[in-house]
Structure 1
Amino acid sequence: MKHTVKRGLGVACLLLAGPSLAADRPHYDPASNEQVKQLIQEVSQDSDWQPEQLNHLFSQAERRDDIIKLISKPAERVLTWAEYRRLFITDARIKAGHEFMAQHRDALNRAHEQYGVDPTVITAIIGVETFYGRHKGRHRVIDALSTLSFDYPPRSAFFRKQLVAYLELVKQEGLNPLLPMGSYAGAMGFPQFIPTSYQAYAVDFNGDGFRDIWTNPVDAIGSVAHYFEAHGWKKDAPVAVDAVLEGDGTKLENLRKNRFDMQDYSQVAAAGMTAKSASLTADTRVLPMALSLDDDQEQMMLGLHNFYVITRYNHSRLYAMAVNELAKALKASDQGASDQEAARDQG
């Protein structure tokens, strides 16, 4: 069973690869690349990889100039919360999320019971990351990580660590390292885990002996929930609450910055921001935020502990807000469907 599943992954990854890869791209042949040769020596000493296996692998890994361009391209500008929200909180994404929840209800409920993470939050993460698995990446992971490890000096140390972790995980899971696909930064599968996150948090949630985040949504569901539990998620606790601000917020230094320094609610209230309707104790840790809307308006929010946990998945306030808003929309959609079903049963 285990090997059958893995062969299935190989087929899926080949299908994701699309057209044949360009034959004229430079390869990372260790015979002509000292960085590759050194990495092979290190990895073969500390793992089950044999030098000749790694030599063969890296002679097929390709340097991708398009990946260098993608990761080097500066953002044209920072999106407002209104713009970011329009990208991710759409009718199509809510509808597809509702269908994903209905299809995987048992796994989502089991993850909630085992890890304490709400099914709508798990679904929202997968929805924001890959549109529920529709957009998992079009780059071979070995190419992306090799390119960024050996030819992107600004973050070569980080990506070298990810490359080593990738080699470890494909060896452990029995995968062909040339097949898995991912983002241009080497993020993989439904939840877009980087290799070190896969090693730490991926779980075999369907019990088939393989932690398959690429093609198995059940394993992806359990893995996302495990990630959040490991980062301190509080079961059934709110993520953020609406707030009001007196004055211009100058006493709150990071009000409009992408920072994550939590403060006691008493301090924030003294500086002019209070919860709109929620009752918070003086020592509740909060993250005060003023989020840009259209027409120079702002939405005032207080992020709570679970909001901070979401920012450990992606270090962006807007990302965490999108996950929270999508989760709320999914909860409303799910409740609406349940109410309609109950009404039909009564009728």
Structure 2
Amino acid sequence: MSKRNKDFLLSVMSLVLLLTGCSATATAPDRQQNYADHPEAQSWIESMKAEGFTEAYLRQVLSQAKRQDSIIKAMSRPAEKRLNWEQYSNIFVKPKRVDQGVAFWHENQAALARAAATYGVPEEIIVAIIGVETRYGRITGSYRVLDALATLGFDYPKRGSFFQGQLTEYLRMVQEEQIDFAALKGSYAGAMGYGQFIPSSFRAYAVDFDGDGKRDIWNNRVDAIGSVANYFAEHKWRSSEPVLAPVVFNQPAQDEWFNQSLKPSLTLSQWREKGASAPLKFDENSPATLMKMELNTSEEYWFGLHNFYVITRYNHSRLYAMAVYRLSEQIKAAYQASQAG
């Protein structure tokens, strides 16, 4: 195998391990630490006491949290940055994942139809999100959420404040939902369930979609489906609008036009004035961001429209959003073909 092929294979393996909450070093014994004695923990404890939590409870929680070095290593390896769009799509937009998506749609047809009607989010988008996140619930993460959030909150200074906030949200969540704080498992970043919600997203967007009095995104597919749909609705998905528009260049494009922001800042009309246009069937008032998606030997050019931006609110990555949308297209086509047959 050539060095180039070996490097590519290592990049792909690293990304898959990261996205499934695992690590190549996860089987090695991780250094453990009692977070109740961590020097960074006392200020967090004081802030939580001000919100009504007792110090005894907080110390009990932190005493059971264990540092996981493999989580630090996973967060320090941004494998996605080493992959182009073609390499990334070859991980997620594959026939097996499409087939599994069709099966998931058939198995949960009623819940998906109701979610689409309730929240205005297409079934194929909901299915594709769950497919990319956890392969339809097959890979939801093996780390205790408590360990992940404590490790990143207190021993990953780059994003410590964010993850201390998620640990706070997590304790609110387990008390509200009456769940054992040490029992839940998820990804290396503390994301949980079929749709991989972090604690703040759970509290804001998870729904009891089957009406049994519980918001269960770990074991209840109906709740997971409704919660993903609600997430998109709350982030202003527009049911009647497209996701992407093709690009035609009427003059040489400038490098600074591309991949500048996930959030659109110009309309299609304004892009047309600059020399990059979409077919006239698209609303010229639509906000759009201009994207260059790199392939192994060429590039693709697309306008990301409002709904593309909404997908990136789930994961702030244009590669991720493109994979979700492309997978959704293939799942929808295959599902419709299975219905016709």
TM-score (normalised: structure 2): 0.87
Aligned position for 2:122: 118
Match of 2:277 among 274, 279, 300: 274
The alignment status of 1:35 with 2:40, answered yes or no, reads yes
The one-character-per-residue Cα deviations of 1:312-345 (angstroms, maximum 9, x if unpaired) are: 11111111111111111111011101111xxxxx
The 8 Å contact of residues 120 and 331 in structure 1, kept in 2 or not, is answered as: yes
Structure 2 residue runs without a partner (length 5+): 1-20
The 8 Å contact of residues 261 and 287 in structure 1, kept in 2 or not, is answered as: yes
Are the structure 2 counterparts of residues 191 and 254 from structure 1 closer, same or farther at C-alpha, using a change threshold of 3 Å?
Answer: farther
Aligned position for 1:308: 309
Aligned position for 2:263: 260
CA-CA distance at 1:61 after TM superposition:
0.8
Aligned position for 2:248: 244
Are the structure 2 counterparts of residues 218 and 69 from structure 1 closer, same or farther at C-alpha, using a change threshold of 3 Å?
Answer: same
CA-CA distance at 1:23 after TM superposition:
8.8
Aligned position for 1:5: none
Are the structure 2 counterparts of residues 64 and 266 from structure 1 closer, same or farther at C-alpha, using a change threshold of 3 Å?
Answer: same
The Cα RMSD (Å) is 2.2
Does the residue aligned with 1:59 lie in a helix, a strand or coil? helix
The 8 Å contact of residues 140 and 187 in structure 2, kept in 1 or not, is answered as: yes
Q: Percentage identity across aligned positions?
A: 44
Which whole-Å CA distance do the structure 2 matches of 1:22 and 1:169 have between them?
Answer: 31
Are the structure 2 counterparts of residues 254 and 160 from structure 1 closer, same or farther at C-alpha, using a change threshold of 3 Å?
Answer: farther
1:1-347 equivalences under 5 Å are: 25-30=31-36, 32-47=37-52, 49-75=53-79, 77-250=81-254, 253-257=256-260, 259-275=262-278, 277=279, 279-295=281-297, 297-340=298-341
The one-character-per-residue Cα deviations of 1:160-189 (angstroms, maximum 9, x if unpaired) are: 000000010001111111111111111111
The 8 Å contact of residues 207 and 227 in structure 2, kept in 1 or not, is answered as: yes
Which whole-Å CA distance do the structure 2 matches of 1:22 and 1:102 have between them?
Answer: 40
Code of the residue aligned with 2:266 in structure 1: it is Q
Which whole-Å CA distance do the structure 2 matches of 1:318 and 1:73 have between them?
Answer: 17
Aligned position for 1:12: none
CA-CA distance at 1:247 after TM superposition:
4.1
The 8 Å contact of residues 138 and 181 in structure 1, kept in 2 or not, is answered as: yes
The one-character-per-residue Cα deviations of 1:134-161 (angstroms, maximum 9, x if unpaired) are: 1111110000100111111111110000
The one-character-per-residue Cα deviations of 1:231-269 (angstroms, maximum 9, x if unpaired) are: 11011321112222244411x624145643331111211
Are the structure 2 counterparts of residues 73 and 197 from structure 1 closer, same or farther at C-alpha, using a change threshold of 3 Å?
Answer: same
The 8 Å contact of residues 308 and 321 in structure 2, kept in 1 or not, is answered as: yes
Structure 1 residue runs without a partner (length 5+): 1-15, 341-347
TM-score (normalised: structure 1): 0.85
Which whole-Å CA distance do the structure 2 matches of 1:105 and 1:235 have between them?
Answer: 19
Code of the residue aligned with 1:302 in structure 2: it is F
Q: Which moved more, 1:317-326 or 1:259-268?
A: 259-268
Rg larger for? 1
